[in-house]
Amino acid sequence: MSEWFEVTLTGEAAASQWGDNALISFKENGATVHASDRRRIQQAGSRLRSQGIVKVQLATGFEDIDLQWAFADGFMSTLGGERIRWASESAELDARFKVARWVRDITNKGPEQKSPQMLASEAASFISALGGDKVSYKMISGEALKDAGWTGLYNVGRGSSRPPVMLVLDYNPGQEDTPVSAALVGKGIVFDSGGYSLKASEGMLNMKADMGGAAMVTGGLGLAILRGLDKRVRLILCCAENLVSGNAYKLGDILTYKNGTTVEVVNTDAEGRLVLADGLLVAGESGAPLIINAATLTGAAMTAVGSHYNALFALDKEVVAKVNAIADAECEPAWPLPLEPFHQFECPSAYADTANSRAQKGGGAGGASNAAGFLSRFVRDSGKGWVHMDLASCFNNSENALWAAGATARGIRTIASSIKALS
């Protein structure tokens, strides 16, 4: 008997003995999935993995690679160890699996395993292993961030004994003077207590995943490289730990950014936008015509679109429409939410150009748009070519019918394809 569990796919109903509308029927050393849509196929993958099956061979009926990937999304577990043989050899599916597994694993790591330095180093190592000598990078850490003027990242991270780190990585398959085609910016908060705006325990439990944006943009670049990326891309990760201590930043602090913008801190739990502001300024310095930032930024985005979609924001309506179309084509649902120039002024301060939020629970009404409006203060050319992804669907607190508990990696294909198509 083979150690590989064979799974076939058919649109026909299962025999009556398996029950009405049965999703799976079984045979010796194998099973048949009775479904034709991606969602049901993903459910079948999740169900088989939950039964302890770790090695599957996809066979008849799985000729479409997106149906194979739907099964893989469900079959991948929280802790890993699963193996899949595709219906036929596929470099694309191998690439997706390699990158998605890395994104899930780095995101699911506990906070003690994942300091800002560890996150930056593992991301750099992952991309270097894929890109070889086309990759170079630098890291700025601790007091050096303050000296360089990266005030958001420095202040958010200074409350931890493990210093904040900015990773600036360059993937350049061309000449030294090749222009940067795209810049990717990721929020890398390795653990978010909320700072002095302290989260409740249930809200803090899964804050090891608050670096999901950093993992997502790293994965997106990695997948693009494995797909043969021939454009120069800059990757900027803003990595910090938001903790309470005698050295932590406080409510009422005024931060002055390198572009001259002053920010009053009215909520230390609205820290992601503070670190991303620095990353967006670095991205702007690169001259890249396309800038994508990704972050687990607001609960308001999840309230708006649920956990099956990522939220998109942009002042550039043409580019956000294109990214949304790419997300649809890649079967990674996303939805544009409102962002207009006036959103820059929705978090007013009597003491600074803006506050980092409103002094209300969840940032008040329109919190996700207001957060995006804050970010738009730090992009050049009135937001031309910039898209903000608020990652509502990148992590599940617990297992459900579609996903294992933890990271989903939903967004890497959208980012990879956007780099290729739009930059």
Residue of 38, 47, 101, 199 marked catalytic: 199
**In the annotation, is 273 catalytic?**
yes
The set of residues, in sequence order, having a beta carbon less than 8 Å from that of 338 and lying 6+ positions away, is: 313, 366, 369
Half-sphere CA count of 178, side-chain side, radius 13 A: 16
Please check whether residue 93 is in contact with residue 65, taking contact to mean a CB–CB distance below 8 angstroms.
yes
Bridge partners for 189 per DSSP? 240
Residue of 231, 273, 358, 377 marked catalytic: 273
DSSP symbols for 61-82 = T--SHHHHHHHHHHH--SS---
**In the annotation, is 322 catalytic?**
no
Nearest residue to 222 via CA among 125, 352, 87, 114: 125
**Helix, strand, or coil (residue 338):** coil
Nearest residue to 54 via CA among 4, 17, 8: 4
The set of residues, in sequence order, having a beta carbon less than 8 Å from that of 386 and lying 6+ positions away, is: 280, 291, 292, 293, 314, 315, 316, 319, 376, 379
Active site residues: 199, 273
